[in-house]
Amino acid sequence: MDVSQYLEIFIEEAKEHLQNLNEHLLVLEREPENENTINEIFRAAHSLKGMSGTMGYKRMQHLTHDMENVFSEIRNGKMKVSSNLVDVLFKGLDALEAYLTNIQTEANEGEDDNEDIITALNDILNAGLGIVSEQGSGASAAVQAAEIKPVAAEAKSDHGKMKFLDVKIEEHEKKAMVKAGTVGLNVVGLTVYIQEYCVLKGARAFMVNRALEEFGEIIKLNPSAQDLEDEKYDFEYSAFMITKETPDKLAKLAANVSEVKEVVADYYKLSEDDVVAFSKQINQEEVKAVQVQASEAVSLKSGSVAAAAKQPVKPVANRSVRVDIEKLDVLMNLVSELIIAKNGLVSISDSNDTTLDNSFHEQIEYLERVTTNLHESVMKTRMVPIESVVNRFPRMIRDLSKKLDKEMELYMTGEETELDRTVIDEIGDPLMHLLRNAADHGLESNAERAKKGKNPVGSIYLDAYQDGNNVVIEVRDDGAGINTERIKLKAIEKGKISEEQAARMTDKDIIDILFQPSFSTAETVTDVSGRGVGLDVVKTKIEALGGEIEAKTKLDEGSNFIIRLPLTLAIIQALMVIIGDEKYALPLGSIQTVEDILSTEVKDIQGKEVINLRGNVVPIVRLSKILGCKKPEKEPEELLVVIVKKGERLAGMVVDELIGQQEIVIKSIGKYIKNHKIISGATILGNGEVALILDVNSLV
């Protein structure tokens, strides 16, 4: 049977099992006697082996089987967990992830058998159990004993009376059987016997049933479909089908599924009394409809009477579903169109037309409530816990600790904090880069930390929390901190700044140099990271997501990189303004206040225009000059200045007129505007006009 239709489900679930194994192996390394962890690891490996075998990925199944053997002996108390064993197991997980990546990209697991890992696992297993291999190939007697022993293909049934004869048939099922008989269809009962060594009998029963349903409709299962899925049966179950096929053909079909020991099938006949009783109940129109279906060879599984009589299946306990992000994007697009329609109605209602009656305004209010609720619902659907990104970092820090020969611990909080799926997909690499920087160049060596009187074990923290309409992620360490003097000298040496500029710069200005392209204070470039190397890429990525990043540091106390990200990238609150004769949108989340400033209060300091705002020197940005908008013929006496904030930095955006606050839909401008760093997107207004959305981060 073709199992390619289950590939997507396999990939998703395999990822979950591999992540589960990664997390629990880290716990096992710290707590070798933790029985719950050992059992959880064994279950995950067991499930992954069964899934791989079901899908036909033999290399993946073989490697997982050898890993499972080790977990089994640990669980039985015959082996102890060692650091060497954990290293080999992690290599095995990396190999499994490589198989999975290959399956995703090439639709096959590749040609690498990973014999070195399998040999290492078997050698550790031999040593742990005190077994000497007689074959010299690394294959242990314990492994051989654990291998599956095939059952003879010639095995015949000695079960006597078939199990399905003892099953109680419900009234509605009898009625469906009688209806089938009126159009010349058969009722066949089957009992399927699964091999006792089958590792995933729930999946096996599912595959048998799918194969049978190609040739008819299963109207009853014993045990129920839910019990079969939950593996609550003893390697045998019964099924009743309405079909055109013979019992022999169906039995052979089911027996072709691997790990099925035997299938016994026969026609199922109701008593004469049942046939007479239910024949009277059947409406002639129903019979005629069924006859039409039969004559047109319509499969019963796609809407027949038998399907209507099918026993309802209990809902699965796990209510979560995986939704393709493209489907959510379509839904979000529909919501955006709805909001545009709402803005159009609002625009009409503001036209002072006295003929508009109250019902029109009520409709606008109703539409506004609907769009707001729909927006919130869709946003909740798109939100994903940040845990899905950060849960791979403890393993990374563990590997870096060994590679760099530094003791370190990663502490994470706020993994349940939710972000838009679009942001989640992009944030992983920047966070990984910051953590590698902290491990390699933030933390000192164990000996150096001891000299300073610090805990020899370095600490790295990853904290996530919601702050208004933003999510804040902090990556900090208790290492040496950033040496601002060293950065200053390096920047002068590379010609990034002059000595005069350096003398005037604050510590924050100097730290910001780290985010410039191709800047690094590292004397040698390592294959792990370099403080400053690639931070410009991190900044670019964060700002592309509508966020911002800043760094704080204290010498010998540590560094802190703070990332602020918007909750969503689709619909935002904005302040609509007019610059020249054009309309623009400024994201409301960045705006602090709107001020009326006298032109005479604008001062020129070192060639830059600034204002004194309640004791703070704030640079101002003439948006009309940057955007090339039409300038007023005469300089106004008062300037309308929108004060925006980026991190701890303030700036004033000079605009000509305020329109008001509005909920806007962000539309990508794609490649239409080539140099659009100051433009983050566009929106369609209620009257059909297009307004550009300004990117405050690039303007400050």
Q: How far apart are CA 394 and CA 90, in angstroms?
A: 13
Q: How far apart are CA 115 and CA 146, in angstroms?
A: 18
Q: How far apart are CA 323 and CA 301, in angstroms?
A: 26
Spell out the residues 6+ positions from residue 100 whose beta carbon is closer than 8 angstroms to its own.
11, 14, 15, 18, 60
Instruction: List the structure tokens of 202.
Output: 């729930």
Instruction: List the structure tokens of 207.
Output: 């595959």
Spell out the residues 6+ positions from residue 602 whose beta carbon is closer than 8 angstroms to its own.
609, 610, 611, 620, 639
Q: How far apart are CA 547 and CA 283, in angstroms?
A: 66
Instruction: List the structure tokens of 387.
Output: 């845990």
Where on the phi/psi map is residue 699: left (φ > 0), alpha (ψ -120 to 50), or beta? Answer: alpha
**Beta bridge pairs of residue 188:** 241, 267
| 3-class secondary-structure state, position 242 | strand
Q: CA 675 → CA 164, 427, 452, 468, 586, distances in Å?
A: 73, 24, 49, 31, 19
| Positive/negative CA dihedral, 326, 331, 337, 340 | negative
Instruction: List the structure tokens of 426.
Output: 């992009």
Taking residue 512's Cβ as centre, other Cβ atoms within 10 Å add up to 17
Question: From start to end of 504-615, where are the E strands?
Answer: 548-554, 558-566, 571-579, 582-587, 591-598, 603-605, 608-613
Angle between helical axes of 58-75 and 35-55 (0-180°, round to 10) = 160
The three-point CA angle 588-589-594 to 5° equals: 50
Sheet of 608-613, strands arranged across = 591-598, 638-646, 649-655, 616-622, 608-613, 603-605
Looking up tokens 């629990």 gives 24
- For residues 231 and 198, the answer to whether their CB atoms sit within 8 Å is no
DSSP 430-466: HHHHHHHHIIIIISPPHHHHHHTT--SSEEEEEEEEE
First-residue to last-residue Cα distance in the chain: 61
Instruction: List the structure tokens of 250.
Output: 């169906």
Closest by alpha carbon to 74, among 120, 108, 112, 124? Answer: 124
| Positive/negative CA dihedral, 654, 659, 660, 665 | negative
Closest by alpha carbon to 46, among 238, 203, 245? Answer: 203
Q: How far apart are CA 145 and CA 135, in angstroms?
A: 14
Closest by alpha carbon to 560, among 569, 570, 550? Answer: 550
Q: How far apart are CA 27 and CA 494, in angstroms?
A: 46
Report the catalytic residues.
46, 68, 437
